[in-house]
């Protein structure tokens, strides 16, 4: 029985099938996701590529499919024109753009598909080899792609991967001269360096997440015999998870923030309200999908789902999927820069203007964007929640029901409330962050 009135007019639906699946798990049992198909139809008017030969500047972009794993399709993303196309595959630069512009930009990218086994490519296959080189390129790569038939007109949309345009089977691939990104290239040539270490090192050298992820997906890192292509979708989450974990363990050594903070950003009709609490690490993402938004297409109720982790992290995959890890990276990154730790809950309200999924970057980059701004600060949780309630349409009581971080903060007492004293604040000296408690 649902008696949960979330705002003035909507009820809440928990664990809605579409919000959990997001076109990736076939939970409805249908062969193709009806939501995604709907977007395809909307896009059908796009002009088809009327040639079997495309010459253009790849951003550089590559794509590694996941169907049929370990035999998957790999290849470049190429637009049918030349120039500085780097922005087309660099989600770090997309904050502030309109959804239509993002989709329009991305759908110009034609995907070349060439089937390989993920672990058997070792330089003997020219197309796989070029795809790999492109992923390490510093600047857009001049590419000529020859298809065995005209690329199909369907565009691809998913919750984790940014959209791209038509795709077709590759026959041959030519690459102009490219200049490798020195940082990526160095990690690529270190065949004794573990992939996770390579990812973290590159992040610490300020390499964009999208670049690390792209190189990761073509098996550019790791101990030599372990290298293999990784489906783009998986590589995004693997990179977000690896970096996020590293940062999380680092911030646990710092002392908690001193106040309650609320950060926010509103983009693409998504409202992001990020509440940080003065406590040890705990993190949660709660998403509320209004009816008629991407992953609540049929409902009349608001679909709310959430995933959280406590201090020690979690070992199972988050219910909410890749966006849990993308947002965690952004939160841990902010705290790491400040050398503090905190509990954090992200309340995401997705309104009907968010009509189609654009990829997990939306979560990572918008949370990052919010955390770059000055927060509102509060002395008490009550004041912080009151402020949040003025920024979101869904009532705070509803968020509380779905948020483990909020419930913990509101209902879980601490031993210190009963006379177990923590180390006095005045004893604390900088440099003693470890074991601050």
Partner 1 sequence: MLNAEINSNVLKDLVDIVGTIVDEVKINLNEEGLNLKAVDPAHVAMVDLSLSKDAFEAYEADETELGLNLKKMEQFLRLAEAGEMVRMTLDEDENRLVLEVTNITQKMALLDTAGMTDPNVPSLDLPLSLKVKGKYVLNGVKASENISDHISITANPDGFEILSEEDEDMVRLSLNEEELEELNANEEVRSLFALDYFSNMIKCVSKDTVLEIELGADYPIKIQFSFAEENGSVRYLLAPRIEST
Footprint of partner 1 on this chain (CB under 8 A)? 252, 279-282, 310-312, 401, 404, 407-408, 410-423, 432, 434-437
Gap between the Cα atoms of 194 and 222, Å rounded: 4
Show the tokens assigned to 196. 């996770």
Within its chain, how far is the Cα of 274 from the centroid?
A: 16
**C-beta separation of 183 from 205 below 8 A:** yes
Please report which residue ranges of 207-304 form alpha helices under DSSP H.
Answer: 209-217, 232-251
Check whether the bond before 70 is cis (ω within 30° of 0). Answer: yes
Cβ at position 428, least distance to partner 1 in Å = 10
Would you say 282 or 392 has its CB closer to partner 1? Answer: 282
Show the tokens assigned to 219. 């098996």
Gap between the Cα atoms of 159 and 233, Å rounded: 9
Cβ at position 416, least distance to partner 1 in Å = 5
* Residues facing 307 on adjacent strands: 285
Gap between the Cα atoms of 279 and 164, Å rounded: 41
Would you say 355 or 394 has its CB closer to partner 1? Answer: 394
Burial class (CB in 10 A: 0-12, 13-18, 19+), 351: middle
Cβ at position 245, least distance to partner 1 in Å = 14
Which distant-in-sequence residues (6+ apart) come within 8 Å of 250 by Cβ? Answer: 332, 336
Within its chain, how far is the Cα of 296 from the centroid?
A: 19
Would you say 313 or 352 has its CB closer to partner 1? Answer: 313
DSSP 134: H
Gap between the Cα atoms of 77 and 144, Å rounded: 11
Gap between the Cα atoms of 60 and 77, Å rounded: 7
Would you say 417 or 425 has its CB closer to partner 1? Answer: 417
| Three-class SS state of 38 | helix
Gap between the Cα atoms of 186 and 221, Å rounded: 10
Would you say 174 or 432 has its CB closer to partner 1? Answer: 432
The C-alpha torsion from 14 through 17 and 18 to 22, rounded to 10°, is: 110
Cβ at position 376, least distance to partner 1 in Å = 25
Q: Are strands 110-117 and 167-175 parallel, antiparallel or unpaired?
A: parallel
Phi-psi region of 75 (alpha: psi -120 to 50; beta: other; left: phi over 0): left
Would you say 209 or 282 has its CB closer to partner 1? Answer: 282
Cβ at position 419, least distance to partner 1 in Å = 4
Would you say 252 or 391 has its CB closer to partner 1? Answer: 252
Would you say 180 or 436 has its CB closer to partner 1? Answer: 436
Would you say 84 or 432 has its CB closer to partner 1? Answer: 432
Cβ at position 262, least distance to partner 1 in Å = 21
Would you say 369 or 404 has its CB closer to partner 1? Answer: 404
Ordered DSSP codes for 308-348? EE-TT--SSPPTT-HHHHHHHHHHHHHHHHHT-B-EEEEEE
Would you say 283 or 361 has its CB closer to partner 1? Answer: 283
Please say whether the dihedral angle defined by the alpha carbons of residues 275, 276, 279 and 283, taken in this order, is positive or negative: positive
Cβ at position 5, least distance to partner 1 in Å = 15
Cβ at position 370, least distance to partner 1 in Å = 25
Phi-psi region of 251 (alpha: psi -120 to 50; beta: other; left: phi over 0): alpha
């Amino acid at each position: 029985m649902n008696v949960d009135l979330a705002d003035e007019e909507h009820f809440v639906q928990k664990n809605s099938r579409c919000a959990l699946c997001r076109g990736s798990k076939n939970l409805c049992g249908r062969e193709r996701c009806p939501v995604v198909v709907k977007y395809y139809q909307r896009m059908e008017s796009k002009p088809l590529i009327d040639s079997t030969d495309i010459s253009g500047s790849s951003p550089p972009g590559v794509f590694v499919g996941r169907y049929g794993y370990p035999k998957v399709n790999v290849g470049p993303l190429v637009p049918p024109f030349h120039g500085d196309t780097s922005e087309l595959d660099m989600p770090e630069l997309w904050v502030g753009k309109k959804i239509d512009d993002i989709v329009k930009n991305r759908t110009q990218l034609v995907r070349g598909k060439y089937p390989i086994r993920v672990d058997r490519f070792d330089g003997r296959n020219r197309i796989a080899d070029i795809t790999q080189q492109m992923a390490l390129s510093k600047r857009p790569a001049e590419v000529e792609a020859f298809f065995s038939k005209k690329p199909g007109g369907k565009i691809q949309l998913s919750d984790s991967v940014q959209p791209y345009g038509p795709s077709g089977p590759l026959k041959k691939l030519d690459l102009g001269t490219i200049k490798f990104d020195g940082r990526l290239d160095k990690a690529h040539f270190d065949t004794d360096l573990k992939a996770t270490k390579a990812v973290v090192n590159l992040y610490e050298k300020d390499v964009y997440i999208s670049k690390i992820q792209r190189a990761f997906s073509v098996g550019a890192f790791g101990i030599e015999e372990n290298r293999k292509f990784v489906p783009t979708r998986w590589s995004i989450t693997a990179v977000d998870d690896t970096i996020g974990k590293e940062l999380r363990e680092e911030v646990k050594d710092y002392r908690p923030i001193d106040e309650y903070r609320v950060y926010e950003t509103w983009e693409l009709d998504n409202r992001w309200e990020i509440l940080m609490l003065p406590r040890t690490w705990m993190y949660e993402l709660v998403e509320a999908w209004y009816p008629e938004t991407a992953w609540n297409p049929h409902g009349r109720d608001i679909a709310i789902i959430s995933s959280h982790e406590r201090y020690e992290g979690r070992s199972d995959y988050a219910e909410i999927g890749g966006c849990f890890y993308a947002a965690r990276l952004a939160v841990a990154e902010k705290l790491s820069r400040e050398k503090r730790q905190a509990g954090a809950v992200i309340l995401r309200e997705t309104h009907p203007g968010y009509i189609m999924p654009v990829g997990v970057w939306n979560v990572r980059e918008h949370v990052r964007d919010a955390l770059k701004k000055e927060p509102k600060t509060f002395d008490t949780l009550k004041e912080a929640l009151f402020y949040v309630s003025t920024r979101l349409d869904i009532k705070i009581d509803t968020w509380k029901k779905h948020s483990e971080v909020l419930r913990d903060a509101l209902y879980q007492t601490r031993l210190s409330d009963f006379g177990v004293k923590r180390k006095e604040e005045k004893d604390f000296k900088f440099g003693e962050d470890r074991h601050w408690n």
